A and B are shown apart, each in its own frame.
Chain A
């Protein structure tokens, strides 16, 4: 912590900034790869993710099938690539649901304050204290298993977090003088909310959205792993891992490949989230 003569100190600083930039680059690279796979799966994947080939079951990685084949002879690499599409779709909608719901609740709570604030935020706190997966699983049970329901269930989980952020950001904005000015010149509540407050709470929410995206990918995989998300033969990293587990002794690559894809995708979004936080919000930098 302290050295009497620390000539290396400025070097530490420079290396630290450089490292942060590198991490953002790695994160951005991983995210780009996942997004490209999701959008251009048809062009990138060497095989169809659905075509069975019983003569070619449980083949190890080879030049033809880089990640080997699964228990019914489908190309594992192609399925991993196609699965990115489902993960991204689910995460996109879920984060959208959370962002929309959370922003509305958070801004309303902060703007109107008093009882509305108290009741809304107490309820959000309550939702927050539930184990996320448990809540998702229960919602899936009552809504029924489908991709759309998975998206909604995951989205609901994100609402408390986003609403907290939106509320804090709105409170910050409300303390600024220009809001008083807007009231004085007779702007309506609705206009103040959409014209003055909304643009100012977007940045912290977007930073959070990147991290939530990573978490959504994890939750989708978890639900699919439990059989509550994407249904076979639709490829999802979660359900591929779940089936792959049954063949682990003969075909360990089926347990490794989809998990690795999940890990890299989550890592990528987390790194981007951390990087964005550094760029946009120097106060949160630790």
Chain B
């Protein structure tokens, strides 16, 4: 990239560097390549969005960073956390990073919280696991975290069970748990999908606060363009396991280069709310075990032309903005002319 990102530093490595990541899962119908040659960087204090439909490989990418991909999955490529290579780390060492240096906030907070354990115990558990903090102290710290994420009456609420919390409070408890040990990297996998709009806004505000106060780098996974535009500095657009476009949020929203991104933006009625069913692009995402040889979006693309039979590389669109589309270097007319 020619230009530096807003948060990029020259003196230290990115918080997260995913380099040529590939994840394959053996299934009955064949080998499914769910993540394919993905490169993602997240710098300190940066909020990076990954957007894609379900099946685009965004969650599998997140789980790869955590080392929690299914047993059957095979991973290649390189993942580095502040310069430290994770991919060949033994499980015992990897475990020590999880919850300490990398935290994960999943989609459905109610299902992600253990139904039979009290909230303060679950939120304080990272202290006990990684710092051997005695339980009493860990629970006291959990209380602090719960008030930091604006849970009302934390004293009383801390002793309750997850099902006694509202949806927004459950998600905030999950965030509190993630923040416990002030990780370098927070991976948030659609943390606002299940929430209504006002609660969603509160959670997003909370994430911004955290970035400012702790300098945490955040990888934010979503299928909601509105959230991306509101929250993120940089965005990666994923489709069928591959990154189709990436760049600064403003550039991509003002001047999308890939037809897929353009259609996503057009399918969004108003910035702020978009749900998966509104992405009314004709056709379906290709299955991961029968990926087309050329451009993955070609089947659904209105600008499809001859070169699309070959897979395009990421091509420069604007400053720091790249897209995987032949339209950036060839115009349909000239290509048609060259064939004839």
Contacts and interface: CB of A to CB of B under 8 A. Distances in A.
Whether A and B touch directly in their complex, counting CB atoms under 8 A apart, is answered as yes
Interface of A: 1-7, 9-10, 12-13
B157 to A, nearest CB: 32
Query: In which size bucket is the chain B interface?
Result: 10 to 19
B89 A9 contact: no
Contacts of B73: 6, 9
A5 B71 contact: no
Nearest to A1: B71
A6 to B, nearest CB: 6
Nearest to B95: A2
A5 B88 contact: yes
At the interface, is chain A mostly helix, strand, loop or mixed?
loop
A98 to B, nearest CB: 35
Interface of B: 26, 67-75, 86-89, 91, 94
Nearest to A2: B68
Nearest to A10: B26
A10 B28 CA distance: 11
B26 A5 contact: no
B71 A2 contact: yes
A260 to B, nearest CB: 38
Contacts of B87: 4-5
B91 A10 contact: no
B72 A13 contact: yes
Given A9-B26, A10-B26, A13-B26, A4 B72 contact: no
Nearest to A14: B26
A66 B74 CA distance: 55
A3 B86 CA distance: 12
A9 B75 CA distance: 11
14 contacts: A2-B91, A3-B91, A4-B75, A4-B87, A4-B88, A4-B89, A5-B75, A5-B87, A5-B88, A6-B72, A6-B73, A9-B74, A10-B72, A10-B74
Given A10-B26, A13-B26, A5 B68 contact: no
B33 to A, nearest CB: 14
A5 B74 contact: yes
Contacts of A2: 67-71, 91
A13 to B, nearest CB: 7
Given A9-B26, A10-B26, A13-B26, A4 B91 contact: yes
Nearest to B64: A4
Scoring A2, A4, A7, A9 by chain B CB atoms within 10 A of each residue's CB, the highest score goes to A4
Contacts of A1: 71
Given A9-B26, A10-B26, A4 B86 contact: yes
A12 B287 CA distance: 25
A3 B88 contact: no
